[in-house]
Amino acid sequence: MKELKEIPLDKILKAMGDPIRLGVIKQLLQAEKQEITCGDFNYCVQKATFSHHIKILIESHILCERIEGVRKYLSINPNILKTYPSIFEAIKTSK
């Protein structure tokens, strides 16, 4: 995993600057274990479009993925959560 000091805040904010990606982050923050399988997200775009948004979040190191059998679990990078807690708290409590 990329060291957090190499991930500038502007890159993180840019990656989360789309309503679909912001919705992914919010769903993960509100999930019971802050981890969701790819098929369990609520989204209103085509599957390919949603996959593209997930890819952007993974490549920007905002999301981590864990593969268990045929399921892919996504969660927010814990290092980013610790470094920018106020950003993620604001997202979690936003309407």
Instruction: Give pLDDT, residue 91.
Output: 93
Mean pLDDT of 14-41: 94
Across the chain, mean pLDDT equals 91
Sign of the torsion angle spanned by Cα atoms 27, 90, 64, 44:
positive
Tell me if the domain spanning 4-93 has CATH number 1.10.10.10: yes
Report d(CA 38, CA 53) in Å as an integer.
12
Domain ranges of the chain: 4-93
Instruction: Give pLDDT, residue 6.
Output: 66
pTM of this structure: 0.88
Report d(CA 36, CA 38) in Å as an integer.
6
> Given a cut of 80, is residue 83 above it in pLDDT?
yes
Tens of pLDDT along 36-76? Answer: 999 999 999 999 999 999 999 999 999 999 999 999 999 99
